Amino acid sequence: MQKLSRGELLSLEQYAEERPAFRDRVLAHKRDRRLELGSNAALYFEDRLTMQYQVQEMLRIERIFEAAGIDEELAVYNPMIPDGSNWKATFMIEYAEEEERREMLAKLVGIEDRVYVQVADFDRVFAIADEDLERANEQKTSAVHFLRFELPREQSAALQSGAALIAGIDHDNYRVEVCPVANNIRRSLINDLD
């Protein structure tokens, strides 16, 4: 999947005019890219469109219009665009109550390394977490992680040929498996693969 370039972004003025329609399009697209993993975790699979929206929103909020600032935003968000052999996702641990969230983040240390996808009967593919910076320590994990799932060619081919997709978390304090992943999400993710 091609990375974003400065020339493809809308100016602040253009974005202000097109934002309502673009936002609606992105929100509809994201519905097919959110995968709940139990009641307290979710994967938000990223792609070129979700990252373009993120960049455009950051430029708008920060009022960035100079080339160097735009390039900085692209450098931050382009790595979250899949490369054709992988999926990239924002992993969120979601507890509404602050006290419970703090307690669970201490119990879920290492959870980001135990999130997986599985194509049919192939081996699980565990996430490669937080390649940009460490978001956890020995006392607690973060509520937000950035994950990459690197799929072997034979698994990509099987998925594109109709094989089922499974996803889950295999952590001592949080186990869940989604089997199979809903077809709308599966179809959307197949579009990220070469």
What pLDDT is stored for residue 131 in this prediction?
Answer: 78
Number of H helices, E strands in the chain: 6, 9
Looking at the structure, tell me whether residues 89 and 64 fall in a common domain: no
Claim to verify: residue 67 and residue 140 sit in the same structural domain: no
Read off the pTM. Answer: 0.91
Instruction: Tell me the average confidence (pLDDT) per consecutive run of 10 residues in the chain, 194 residues long.
Output: 90 96 97 97 97 96 93 93 96 95 95 97 96 75 94 96 97 97 97 91
Closest CA to 50 of 26, 74, 71, 86: 26
Within this chain, do residues 71 and 118 fall inside the same structural domain, yes or no? no
- Say if CB 125 and CB 155 are below 8 A apart: yes
- Residues 89, 182 within the same domain: yes
Q: What is the DSSP pairing of strand 115-119 with strand 165-171? A: antiparallel
CATH number, position 174? 2.60.40
- Whether residues 127 and 103 fall in one domain: yes
CA distance 148 to 131: 9
Boundaries of domain holding 134: 39-46+83-194
Residue with tokens 């938000």: 44
pLDDT for the residue numbered 194: 83
User: 1 and 96: one domain?
Assistant: no
Same domain, 140 and 73: no
pLDDT score at 130: 85
User: Are 135 and 119 in a shared domain?
Assistant: yes
Domain count for the chain: 2
Q: What is the pLDDT of residue 25?
A: 97
| 58 and 121 co-located in one domain | no
